[in-house]
C-alpha cells in the first residue's frame, strides 16, 4: 500500500506520533482515518458531535504524559469564506449561540474586548489566521489514538502549532467558568485515568498538573521545545485502550480526584465503562472476534 493511499493515522504513526501535551494543536481524525469503532462509540453516546471530526483541536488537559485520554476543544473557521468573511456569531446558523462564547485567535475578528485574543507561539499561525475561532461550549474527552498531526498548506510540513502557556490558561479558566460540559468532561477524564491507574504497571512517572481553574496560582506544563516543536516522540505504533478498572480506587486515583475537586469541578461517580470502546466493555464478547482487535494483530 503506497503512502498516499494509507489511512492518515498510519502516515502519522510512520512519522512518529507526538507526545500530546496541553497547548498543542492536534487534528481530530475523521472516522475513516483512524479506529472507526473508537470514533463511532464517542458519537453514538452523544459525547462527540459528528461535525467536530476533521478539525484542528487544542489539547486542554492531560493528567499525565501516560494518560490514554485528553480533554480537547475544536478550532474552526465556521465557513467564514462562504459567508463573506462573517464571524460565526453573525451567521444565521449560529445566532442562537451566545456571542461571548466565541474566542478568537490573534488576527480573527473578536466579539468585544472582554477577552484577550488567543495566541500561538511567536512565528506560528493557523492556515486561516483571519478566521480561527474556538466555541467554549465545545469540550470533549477523547482517546489519544484518534488524534494526529495537524497540517494544512501553507504551513511548512512538520511544523507543530502550540499555544502560549498564558493564553492556554486564560482559555481553560474561561471554559471552567462558562462551559456547560466542563464538569462532565472532568468526570470522564477522571474515569479514564482511574482505569489506567488500576493497571499493575509501574507508576513512578505519574504526575498531576495544576488544575486549569486554579487561577489564583496559574501554571501550565511545558508544551514544547523552541519554536513549539514537540519535546519528544513515542513509538510509532498505536496501543489499544487499557482494560477497565474493576478494583477499589487506590491512593493515586483518590489524589487525582481530590485535585480535580479542588479546581471547582463538581464530580460524581462515573463508570469507566462509559468511556470504553465496544470491544473493551466488560460482559460482552460481541466485538472481540474481530482479528484486528486482538493484541497480536493491532499493528497490521
- pLDDT tens-digit readout, 114-163: 999 999 999 899 999 999 999 999 999 999 989 999 988 777 777 899 99
Q: What is the mean pLDDT of the chain?
A: 74
CB atoms within 10 A of CB 43: 14
pLDDT of residue 58: 98
Q: Is residue 3 part of a domain?
A: no
Counting the structural domains of the chain, the total is 1
Cα–Cα distance between 224 and 123 in angstroms, integer?
Answer: 14
Query: Has residue 1 been placed in a domain?
Result: no
Q: Are 142 and 75 in contact (CB under 8 A)?
A: no
Q: Is residue 51 part of a domain?
A: yes
The answer to whether residue 249 sits within a structural domain is yes
Tens of pLDDT, residues 241-250: 444 444 445 5
Which of the pair, 164 or 230, is modelled with greater confidence?
A: 164
Q: Is residue 2 part of a domain?
A: no
Give domain status of residue 122, yes or no. Answer: yes
Report pLDDT for 172. 98
pLDDT value, residue 60 = 98
Rounded percentage of the chain residues whose pLDDT exceeds 70: 59
Angle at 241 between CA 204 and CA 269, to 5 degrees: 80
Q: What is the spatial distance between Cα 116 and Cα 111, in angstroms, rounded to a whole number?
A: 11
C-alpha grid cell for residue 76? 474552526
162 prior amide bond cis, ω within 30: no
Share above pLDDT 90 across residues of the chain, in percent, rounded to a whole number = 44
- pTM beyond 0.85: no
Nearest CA among 290, 291, 289, 257 for reference residue 272: 257
Q: Which domain holds residue 122?
A: 8-297
> Is the confidence at residue 188, as pLDDT, over 80?
yes
Q: Which residues pair with 61 in a beta bridge?
A: 71
Give the residue, 45 or 89, on which the prediction is more confident.
Answer: 89
> What confidence tier does 229 reach under pLDDT thresholds 50, 70, 90?
very low
Q: What is the pLDDT of residue 252?
A: 56
Longest Cα–Cα distance in the chain: 56
CA angle 281, 233, 300 (to 5 degrees): 50
Q: Flag whether pLDDT at 279 surpasses 70.
A: no
Residue whose C-alpha cell is 494544512: 152
Between CA 50 and CA 39 the distance in angstroms is 9
> What is the per-residue pLDDT across 48-103, written as a single tens digit (0 to 9) for each?
998 899 999 999 999 999 999 999 999 999 998 887 889 999 999 998 999 999 99
Where helices occur in the chain by DSSP H, the ranges are 8-15, 36-44, 165-178, 182-197, 251-262
pLDDT of res. 255: 62
Angle 300-276-231 from CA coordinates, rounded to 5°? 65
The pLDDT, as a whole number, for residue 267 is: 43
Q: Which pLDDT value is given to residue 190?
A: 93
In degrees and rounded to multiples of 5, residue 241 shows phi and psi of -65, 150
Of the given ranges (13-17, 46-50, 219-223, 264-268), which has the lowest mean pLDDT? Answer: 219-223
Cα(263)–Cα(212) distance, rounded to whole angstroms? Answer: 7
On whether residue 101 sits in a domain, the answer given is yes
Q: Is 79 domain-assigned?
A: yes
- Which pLDDT score is estimated for 268? 44
Amino acid at each position: 500500500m503506497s503512502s498516499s493511499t494509507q489511512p492518515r493515522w498510519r502516515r502519522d504513526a510512520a512519522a512518529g506520533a507526538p507526545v500530546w501535551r496541553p497547548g498543542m494543536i492536534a487534528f481530530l481524525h475523521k472516522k475513516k482515518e483512524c479506529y472507526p469503532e473508537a470514533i463511532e462509540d464517542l458519537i453514538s453516546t452523544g459525547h462527540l458531535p459528528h461535525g467536530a471530526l476533521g478539525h484542528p483541536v487544542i489539547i486542554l488537559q492531560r493528567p499525565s504524559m501516560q494518560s490514554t485520554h485528553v480533554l480537547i476543544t475544536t478550532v474552526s473557521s465556521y465557513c467564514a469564506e462562504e459567508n463573506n468573511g462573517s464571524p460565526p456569531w453573525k451567521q444565521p446558523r449560529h445566532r442562537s449561540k451566545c456571542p461571548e462564547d466565541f474566542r478568537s485567535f490573534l488576527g480573527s475578528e473578536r466579539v468585544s474586548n472582554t477577552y484577550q485574543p488567543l495566541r500561538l507561539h511567536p512565528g506560528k499561525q493557523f492556515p486561516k489566521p483571519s478566521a480561527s475561532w474556538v466555541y467554549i461550549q465545545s469540550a470533549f474527552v477523547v482517546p489519544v489514538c484518534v488524534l494526529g498531526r495537524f497540517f494544512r498548506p501553507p504551513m511548512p510540513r512538520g511544523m507543530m502549532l502550540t499555544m502560549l502557556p498564558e493564553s492556554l490558561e486564560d482559555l481553560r479558566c474561561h471554559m471552567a467558568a462558562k462551559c456547560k460540559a466542563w464538569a462532565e468532561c472532568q468526570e470522564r477524564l477522571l474515569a479514564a485515568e482511574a482505569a489506567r491507574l488500576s493497571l499493575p504497571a509501574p507508576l513512578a512517572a505519574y504526575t498531576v498538573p495544576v488544575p486549569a481553574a486554579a487561577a489564583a496560582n496559574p501554571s501550565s506544563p511545558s508544551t514544547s521545545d523552541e519554536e513549539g516543536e514537540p519535546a519528544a516522540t513515542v513509538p510509532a505504533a498505536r496501543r489499544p485502550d487499557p482494560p477497565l478498572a474493576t478494583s477499589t480506587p487506590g491512593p493515586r486515583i483518590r489524589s487525582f480526584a481530590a485535585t480535580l475537586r479542588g479546581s471547582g469541578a463538581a464530580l460524581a461517580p462515573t463508570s469507566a465503562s462509559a468511556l470504553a470502546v465496544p470491544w473493551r466493555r466488560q460482559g460482552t464478547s460481541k466485538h472481540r472476534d474481530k482479528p484486528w482487535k486482538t493484541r497480536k494483530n493491532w499493528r497490521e
